[in-house]
């Protein structure tokens, strides 16, 4: 393969939360020009890169590159306007581009909202690279990325930033800025809710809004989703994150609409908002246009990445195939005909976990797999009484949008891990706007006697409202009581924080997987600081969670 590689690989609610809850980036990664100059160029008919650059889904020999070019002033996201323009790209082994190792040209057109993706191959494993784009004399910011170790290579460690739930109107993305400033990450995992679909002032209420969405109305059409993605990618902290690290992303519901399922969503009204299938297709198209993500099977995001012999990363799509959510307290959560994953995806996951030769099996899941329930009964009572009363076997689940609402899928998966002797499985989760460290019990009713099948680390939101935000009370006012109640009823929950916003850093070695939890000082301040809060880890072979008293870095 020559050094000039080219590929034009373009891919085609607060209500729930209320129920559940009751150092700048490095100079080398700075834009080559100030934002004002490119914007002026676009107004003059000179192409400009106003939405940054990004990389994602790293492989041992390749990386997916992304950008969006604005060829003329009228060619704003979602407009469908503007001419097609050639976009050059370069990948180099050094930040000064003295050693270009791959280059090519792709076309940006209105058909893909002037976004481009380049799936670059032929690179060296476990190697940093720098990349940039050009169009009509304009040069993009420079991004830094990194390939993964070879599949059969032993590596001493891998380290990920972990984030989820970034609502534009709820605050600033300072968590992204602090992750961008780190130089020790192999990638950043985004576990869903990268964007939110609400109208401005819809979540949170207008009086609590920090900054306004675009468009102002709830997004429904392809143009709407494109505009919303475009608005997000004008955020300087988000741009810094994408310039600094490859991002591995999956979607959750708000990339579509609140509480999305295969046939609709809680925040979708067919009579006034049209056909759900058309809306979902529009959301997916915009997502694949605007995100550095390879489309997987049937246009979904479930896929698998490998980091040497140390870790396999299994990424799930828990929106495209799921059955509709049932009401809280309904025994239908145990119905074996209902599914969260869909049959094909569950079989794919089970096969991948059982067949993995990696030390660690990491599973990126957008919603929590650990049960969280109240009124849990002893095993000899839960079955008979649950059938009589029509209650879930594991107690009254407080969030039926997560795995608690689809217990047969969870039972099958955890039973598979136990029966096949699959060790060192760690679920990495977002969605719930709180930080958790959990053991995942084989059977909650008989835990800890029945043992654990896996562990789970849940990161809090970047900005989306948590308990104190919803109640509009100071931190620790209500959460101390709520946290104690949750832990008292759920012994497998080793720690949770209902107050903070921030991010996680997952450090994986042959001996242990450790999540360091970081919190930002104030999501409403663009200059918010970040500080380490807690660390929890699971040691190889134990499937138990223990506290670590210092971060890995």
Pairing of the two strands 247-249 and 187-190: parallel
State whether 97 and 158 are in the same domain. Answer: no
Given 147, 169, 195, which residue is the final one in a domain?
Answer: 147
Is residue 464 situated within a structural domain? yes
Determine the average pLDDT of the residues in 192-212. Answer: 96
Residue 553: inside a domain: no
Q: How confident is the model at residue 11 (pLDDT cuts 50, 70, 90)?
A: very low
Look up residue 388 and give its DSSP letter: H
- % of residues, the chain, pLDDT over 70: 88
pLDDT, tens digit (0-9, with 9 covering 90-100), for 204-222 = 999 999 999 999 999 999 9
Q: Is residue 393 very low, low, confident or very high in pLDDT (cuts 50, 70, 90)? A: low
- Does 525 lie in the same domain as 510? yes
Number of H helices and E strands in the chain, helices first, is: 12, 24
Asked if 49 and 162 sit in the same domain, the reply is no
Least confident piece of the model among 277-281, 442-446, 514-518? 442-446
Q: Give residue 407's pLDDT.
A: 95
Instruction: Output the six-digit token pair for 171.
Output: 């605050």
> Once rounded to an integer, what is the mean pLDDT over residues 451-465?
97
CA distances from 415 to 79, 355, 411, 457, 518 (A): 50, 16, 6, 20, 33
Last residue of a domain, one of 147, 170, 204: 147
pLDDT above 60 for 102: yes
Determine, yes or no, domain membership for 387: yes
Domain match, 235 and 297 both: yes
Share of the chain above pLDDT 90, in %: 79
- Judge whether 18 lies within some domain: no
Residue 43: pLDDT band (50, 70, 90) is low
Q: Per-residue pLDDT averaged across 444-473, rounded? A: 92
Looking up tokens 């002893």 gives 378
CATH of the domain at 184: 3.60.21.70
Q: Which residue has the higher pLDDT, 382 or 323?
A: 323
Torsion on CA atoms 67, 72, 73, 78, rounded to nearest 10: -50
Distances (CA, A) of 367 to 315, 361, 497, 553: 12, 17, 17, 28
What pLDDT was estimated at residue 488?
86
* 44-58: pLDDT as tens digits: 668 999 999 999 999
What local confidence, expressed as pLDDT, does residue 328 receive?
83
CATH number at residue 87: 2.60.40.380
Q: In this model, does residue 10 exceed pLDDT 80?
A: no
pLDDT at residue 462, as a whole number = 98
Give residue-wise pLDDT tens across range 288-327: 999 999 877 778 999 999 999 999 999 999 999 999 999 9
Domain count for the chain: 2
For residue 262, what pLDDT is reported? Answer: 97
The reply to whether 366 and 488 lie within a common domain is yes
Higher pLDDT, 256 or 393: 256
Confidence of residue 355 (pLDDT cuts 50, 70, 90): very high
User: Looking at the whole model, is its pTM more than 0.75?
Assistant: yes
Query: Which comes out higher in pLDDT, residue 478 or 136?
Result: 136
Examine the domain organization and report whether 124 and 165 are in the same domain.
no
Residue 26 above 50 pLDDT?
no
Radius of gyration, alpha carbons of the chain: 23
- Write out the residue range of the structural domain in which residue 393 sits: 148-548
Query: Does some domain include residue 17?
Result: no
């Amino acid at each position: 393969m020559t050094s000039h590689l080219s590929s034009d690989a373009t891919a085609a609610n607060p209500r729930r939360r209320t129920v559940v809850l009751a150092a700048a980036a490095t100079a080398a990664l700075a834009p080559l020009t100030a934002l004002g100059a490119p914007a002026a160029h676009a107004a003059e008919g000179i192409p400009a890169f106003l939405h940054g650059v990004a990389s994602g889904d790293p492989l041992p020999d390749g990386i997916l590159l992304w950008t969006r070019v604005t060829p003329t002033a009228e060619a704003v996201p979602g407009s469908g306007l503007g001419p097609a323009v050639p976009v050059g790209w370069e990948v180099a082994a050094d930040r000064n581009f003295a050693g270009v190792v791959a280059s090519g040209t792709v076309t940006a057109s209105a058909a893909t909202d002037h976004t481009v993706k380049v799936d670059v191959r032929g690179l060296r494993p476990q190697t940093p690279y720098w990349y940039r784009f050009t169009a009509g004399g304009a040069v993009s910011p420079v991004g830094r990325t990194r390939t993964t170790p070879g599949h059969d290579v032993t590596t001493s460690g891998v380290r990920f930033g972990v984030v989820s739930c970034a609502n534009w109107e709820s605050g600033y993305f300072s968590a992204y800025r602090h992750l961008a400033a780190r130089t020790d990450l192999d990638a950043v995992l985004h576990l869903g809710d990268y964007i939110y679909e609400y109208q401005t002032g819809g979540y949170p209420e207008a009086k609590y809004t920090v900054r306004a969405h675009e468009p102002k109305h709830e997004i429904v059409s392809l143009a709407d989703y494109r505009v919303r993605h475009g608005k997000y990618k004008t955020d300087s902290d988000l741009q810094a994150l994408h310039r600094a690290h490859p991002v591995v992303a999956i979607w959750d519901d708000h990339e579509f609409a609140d509480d999305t399922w295969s046939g609709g969503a809680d925040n979708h009204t067919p009579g006034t908002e049209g056909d759900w299938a058309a809306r979902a297709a529009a959301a997916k198209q915009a997502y694949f246009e605007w995100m550095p993500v390879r489309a997987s099977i049937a246009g979904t995001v479930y896929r698998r990445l490998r980091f040497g012999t140390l870790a396999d990363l299994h990424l799930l799509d828990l929106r495209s195939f799921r059955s509709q959510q049932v009401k809280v307290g309904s025994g239908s959560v145990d119905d074996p005909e209902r599914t969260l994953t869909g049959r094909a995806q569950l079989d794919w996951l089970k096969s991948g976990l059982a067949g993995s030769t990696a030390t660690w099996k990491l599973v990126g899941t957008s919603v929590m797999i650990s049960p969280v329930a109240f009124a849990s009964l002893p095993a000899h009572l839960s079955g008979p009484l649950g059938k009589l009363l029509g209650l879930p076997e594991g107690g009254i689940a407080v969030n039926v949008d997560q795995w608690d609402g689809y217990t047969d899928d969870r039972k099958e998966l955890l039973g598979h891990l136990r029966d096949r002797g699959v060790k060192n499985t760690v679920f990495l989760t977002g969605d719930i706007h709180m930080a958790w460290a959990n053991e995942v019990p084989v059977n909650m009713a008989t835990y800890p006697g029945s043992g654990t099948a896996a562990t789970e680390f849940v990161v809090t939101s970047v900005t989306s409202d948590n308990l104190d935000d919803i109640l509009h009370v100071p931190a620790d006012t209500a959460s101390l009581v709520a946290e104690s109640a949750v832990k008292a009823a759920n012994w497998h929950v080793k720690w949770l924080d209902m107050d903070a916003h921030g991010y996680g850093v997952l450090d994986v070695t042959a001996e242990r997987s450790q999540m360091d939890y970081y919190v930002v000082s104030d999501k409403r301040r663009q200059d918010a600081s970040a500080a380490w809060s807690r660390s929890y880890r699971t040691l190889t072979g134990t499937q138990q969670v223990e506290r670590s008293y210092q971060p890995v870095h």
